[in-house]
Amino acid sequence: MFQKVLASFGSGGARLDARLTERAVQPGRPLRGEVLLFGGEVDQEINALGIRLIARVEIPSDRGEPEIGDLGFGDQHLAGNEVIRPGQQVRLPFEIALPWETPISSVFGKPLAGIAVGVQTSLDLAGSVSDPRDVDAASVEPLPAQKRILDAMSRIGFTFAGAALEKGRINGVTQQLPFFQEIRFSPSPRFAPVFDSVAVTFLSNPTETTVVLEVVKRVRVSKTGGFGGRGQEFLGSFKVDHANLERVPWEKQLEGWLHEVAKARGIFD
């Protein structure tokens, strides 16, 4: 009886371990792995065993500074209404499709600072107040279209400055997930006198990628008086056809749009 009580509080109870068999993956592709379930010291009934795709996201707050939280964006049920026996070991392979808008967390095998994406495995045991969990990070590499645009930004002199996931939606574009990724760049020497920063967001589907560019432009004269200020934000977007990716000189396209944004438009710009 005492063993059953301990198991209900997680001591001597069932435990799990999630492993990704293919750690590097791309958006829109299947993420494969397996869950290993180990029985405890007594029989325990499994209400549910499942996996969830999660991402660490900045959530807007009334206090000004965003809060950091983990948001789920895909679930898969693996088992339920079963009994795990003492000492029993169960192996459950899984395959879950990553949404096309899954954030990039790695480029050429190098982790992207500020981005955390992974698989969370949860075990719901009947009569147990504990909720054993296991999280395994995934390395999400960019699609060819995304990689091409990032490469073009680098070629025109912009340097990577950081990345973040933000809860919310971008106006004027089709977006499936409740959050979006910003990959931020410091401007090239040519644009540094005019721009504070440029952020790139990718919203992909099977045939094309929408690229959203957010430029923070330096303000010469503030509308409230004085020089400088918070800066003006300019938002633009274009589509990259996956089938015709290499037919477009993306460096020239990007520089052309950024040059138009850089032009002075009036006393407050």
pLDDT tens-digit readout, 175-220: 999 999 999 999 999 999 999 999 999 999 999 999 999 999 987 6
pLDDT tens-digit readout, 32-80: 999 998 888 888 888 888 999 999 999 988 777 889 999 999 999 998 8
Query: Rounded to two decimals, what is the model's pTM?
Result: 0.86
pLDDT tens-digit readout, 122-150: 888 876 644 556 788 999 999 999 999 99
pLDDT of residue 220: 62
Q: Where are the domains of the chain?
A: 2-140, 144-262
**What share of the chain in percent tops pLDDT 70?**
87
Average pLDDT, the chain: 86
pLDDT of residue 132: 53
Q: Is residue 242 pLDDT above 80, yes or no?
A: yes
Least Cα distance to 66 among 164, 189, 141, 145 occurs for 164
Pick the CATH number of 2-140 from 2.60.40.3080, 2.60.40.640, 3.40.1410.10, 3.40.50.620: 2.60.40.640
